[in-house]
Amino acid sequence: MSKKMDRTAHNPGWMEVIFGAALSVALGAVIGALALVFRPVTIVKETPKEPIAGLTYFVEGKRDAGKAKQIMAKRKAFAQGASGTISIFEEELNALVAPATPASKPTKPGEKPAPAASAAPTEAISVGTVNFRIGEGLMKIGVPVSLSALGMELKVFVQVHGTFVKKDAAFSFEPQTIILGSCPLDRLPFAAGAVMKAFSSSQTVAEDIAATWPKLTAVAIDGAALKLTLP
């Protein structure tokens, strides 16, 4: 009788079985999501006619370094509060955020070139050059992100698709889709806020632009253009 009672006492109850099963499912979901996070993203110039199943694509926005002067003129007009609508295209945005190439200092004959500056300490999260694409009623942003921890560096490509909505007294960008690597963040909802916070903190807004932005009466994505309207 006592042996039977001992076996009963050590057998798992229904609550333990349910909890164990739920924990297994949760761990499996997290592991599966992490595998998708670090799966490489295929960057293309246009949407493939026959996408390959299992691949995640990012259609890269057009780049044109020749648009730099054009976007700077529009930027100046916006900062000065020019009345009317300013149309901005993805080529211009990508010219605006293109990293500058530092010019090398010329050396005199027989003079050795100056040693390269030592690299800055690696940050935990490092955000690369942002790429903008405008279309289908959305602003699509792609950015490579490097994660450094425990002496390892992991690279992830982040996509954010969204539009502009008016909140309180100003327009702000509202994401509709966030894809971390090949993992839509609806599978990892707790990570969406962290990703947007890291992205936002890496971007700086000039004071003159920040001062003019609340004056906007309309922000719209029309075809291939982002249209900003000032009174």
Candidates 180, 109, 176, 92; CA nearest to 142 is: 180
Beta bridge partners of 88: 226
| CATH entry, 35-98+123-230, from 2.40.160, 1.10.287, 3.15.10, 3.10.150 | 3.15.10
Domain ranges within the chain, ordered by starting residue:
35-98+123-230
Write down the pLDDT at residue 200: 63
Q: Residue 229 gets which letter from DSSP?
A: E
* pLDDT tens column, 67-120: 999 999 999 999 999 999 999 999 999 998 877 554 445 545 555 555 544 444
- Residue stretches of the chain with pLDDT short of 50: 2, 5, 20-32, 102-104, 107, 116-121
Write down the pLDDT at residue 32: 46
Instruction: Specify the DSSP element, H or E, that contains 155.
Output: strand 152-167
CA distance linking residue 152 with residue 72, whole number of Å: 39
CA distance linking residue 102 with residue 113, whole number of Å: 15
Is there a contact between 143 and 131 (Cβ–Cβ < 8 Å)?
yes
Q: Residue 112 gets which letter from DSSP?
A: P
